[in-house]
Amino acid sequence: MIVVADCREFMAGLYQNSVDSIVCDPPYELGFMGKRWDGSGISYDPEVWRLALRVLKPGGHLVAFGGTRTYHRLGCAVDDAGFEIRDSLLWLYGSGFPKSHDVSKAMDKSACAEREVVGPGKYLARKPRGTWGGTAYGSEPSHGNGPVDTAQATDLAKRWDGWGTALKPAHEPAVLARKPLIGTVAANVERYGTGGLNIDACRVATSENLNGGAYAKTDSGTRGASFTTNRAIGEYQQPTGRWPANVCHDGSDSVMSSLPTTTSNSRAAGEYANDRVVYNTADPRHQAAIKGSSGSVARFFYCAKANKGEREAGLDSLPSTKGRKNIHPTVKPLSLMRWLVRLVTPPGGLVLDPFCGSGSTGCAAVMEGMSFIGCDLDQHYVDIANARVKHWMTATK
């Protein structure tokens, strides 16, 4: 169920302790593309998150994305509402483009000095925008007003050439929070089904041996025996993948190259430094890192940015705007949202998204066999979200 509503009114109408998890992408409060909804301050309002806290079951988790410049205020509002901040998550991607102000050009503009055009801009070759001086840069007939390279006109501009005002965006943070438990973790999970994270369902697939000395049972030998004198300690248990980290990535070349594999000062799983390690011994002098356990992008969950086919699946009957049916500017990939929903929601649980947008959380929830409710202020976005959720609900049956 996705309806047009203010999230505060919508959550106020829900039963207390009725929702298993909340996974959402609230406004980043940057005034993005001049949208009024992205500058209302609602993400910073602790009262909004108190309403979310009320409807969550004890131990229920909240995942809320934030902007890199405003995430701290989101986190404070969630904390002030009464949530326990459990972690911060990062989604790394390589497709961001720096929105930087060229200081050198600003100097010339301030001096009213005209800069001489000397060629195509540094990034023109990456854009499908026609030709420059007979060299093809794409399939369109001309590059029109595309970026060009200009020479510095003043000494001050030459001095500040190469300076800008912003970095390339390459990650989005999310707060991972939990409603306080009633008693112990075990008691809370038994009563409400919430309080834990579904680690095994979110492990990162790998072909490596990850047991690291873990055992399934002790048919022969003893747990406290020296590994050098008794290697037969029972059947070793191979985990189904790497323990999920608080980082995800999109698999782009820039991300992969920034997280190179390193195996220095490492050992194979189950191998011990100096051959002296004894079970129940925590002396760090006898231990070394497992190979591939640090510096490898393979440790992190892979989820590419949403492509057009994914964004617009199920929207055939909706009108197009400038060639797009899903016009929401911040569509999250379904693989990422499915992983998050799976991580924080018990099987068959109820997921809430009070900032539904085009419905990626809802799609993820139904694809994972969960129930879903959500709301958004924009009727057009709600129409898009309902159509997408209906499509994926049918496609995954």
Regarding whether 173 and 70 lie in a shared domain, the answer is yes
Regarding whether 139 and 42 lie in a shared domain, the answer is no
d(CA 173, CA 354): 18
Within 13 Å, how many C-alpha atoms sit on residue 335's CB side? 14
What is residue 235's predicted lDDT score, i.e. its pLDDT? 46
User: Does residue 23 belong to any structural domain of this protein?
Assistant: yes
User: Does residue 253 belong to any structural domain of this protein?
Assistant: no
User: Does residue 316 belong to any structural domain of this protein?
Assistant: yes
User: Does residue 256 belong to any structural domain of this protein?
Assistant: no
Q: Which residues span the domain enclosing 175?
A: 2-96+169-200+303-395
Three-point CA angle 27, 362, 182, nearest 5°: 80
Name, in order, each residue with C-beta under 8 angstroms of 207's C-beta and a sequence gap of 6 or more. none
Regarding whether 51 and 185 lie in a shared domain, the answer is yes
Name, in order, each residue with C-beta under 8 angstroms of 284's C-beta and a sequence gap of 6 or more. none
Regarding whether 134 and 10 lie in a shared domain, the answer is no
Count how many domains the chain has. 3
353: CATH = 3.40.50.150
Regarding whether 276 and 154 lie in a shared domain, the answer is no
Q: Is 131 exposed, middle or buried (0-12, 13-18, 19+ CB in 10 A)?
A: middle
What is residue 200's predicted lDDT score, i.e. its pLDDT? 93
* Straight-line distance from the first to the last Cα atom of the chain, in angstroms, rounded to the nearest whole number: 18
Tens digits of per-residue pLDDT, 340-394? 999 999 999 999 999 999 899 999 999 999 999 999 999 989 998 999 999 999 9
The first and second tokens of residue 70, run together, are 């405003």
User: Does residue 140 belong to any structural domain of this protein?
Assistant: yes
Regarding whether 268 and 155 lie in a shared domain, the answer is no
Regarding whether 323 and 266 lie in a shared domain, the answer is no
Regarding whether 213 and 279 lie in a shared domain, the answer is yes
User: Does residue 252 belong to any structural domain of this protein?
Assistant: no
Within 13 Å, how many C-alpha atoms sit on residue 32's CB side? 14
What is residue 102's predicted lDDT score, i.e. its pLDDT? 93
Is residue 7 a contact partner of residue 375, using CB atoms and an 8 Å limit? Answer: yes
Name, in order, each residue with C-beta under 8 angstroms of 213's C-beta and a sequence gap of 6 or more. 227, 236, 269, 270, 272, 279
User: Does residue 321 belong to any structural domain of this protein?
Assistant: yes
User: Does residue 73 belong to any structural domain of this protein?
Assistant: yes
Is residue 25 a contact partner of residue 66, using CB atoms and an 8 Å limit? Answer: no
Q: Is 321 exposed, middle or buried (0-12, 13-18, 19+ CB in 10 A)?
A: exposed
Regarding whether 175 and 77 lie in a shared domain, the answer is yes
Regarding whether 330 and 181 lie in a shared domain, the answer is yes
Q: What is the mean pLDDT of each run of 10 residues along the chain (397 residues)?
A: 95 98 88 52 93 99 94 96 97 82 94 89 46 34 60 94 92 97 98 97 76 44 35 49 85 61 43 34 33 49 68 77 75 91 98 95 96 95 92 87
Tens digits of per-residue pLDDT, 24-74? 999 886 654 455 544 567 999 999 999 999 999 999 999 999 999 989 999
Q: What is the pTM (predicted TM-score) of this model?
A: 0.75
d(CA 20, CA 11): 14
